[in-house]
Amino acid sequence: MSKMAAAKNLMPTNKVTDDMMGVQSMVHLYTDSLKSLHNNMSGLKEELASHKRHIKRLKEELTAACKRQLPVSSLVSNSHHIFP
């Protein structure tokens, strides 16, 4: 067998088989699933960050309200009761 004939046997064909279509479909579904999961995770991260900011503001408001309600001497002796 000549080198040219051997090289032709190694060349990929342009024939698309059912197996190739099935694999391509699976890869497409997998990448779509990953994109969807990434979008969901990004949304959840932003929602979590928003909740954390809200909790921080609530703690600040509660601390300020406690300071307004309590005399200064009790704040010094009971400072562990005020939120960090």
Q: Which of 68, 67, 72, 71 is nearest to 82 (CA)?
A: 67
Give me the tens of pLDDT residue by residue for the chain, a chain 84 residues long: 566 655 566 656 667 788 888 999 999 999 999 999 999 999 999 999 999 999 999 999 999 999 888 766 565 555 555 555
User: Tokens for 59?
Assistant: 């703690």
| Predicted pLDDT of residue 38 | 97
User: Tokens for 29?
Assistant: 């579904």
| Predicted pLDDT of residue 69 | 81
Which element (helix H / strand E) includes 74? helix 72-77
Q: Encode 37-73: b = buried (16+ Cβ within 10 Å), e = exposed.
A: eeeeeeeeeeeeeeeeeeeeeeeeeeeeeeeeeeeee
Domain edges within the chain: 50-77
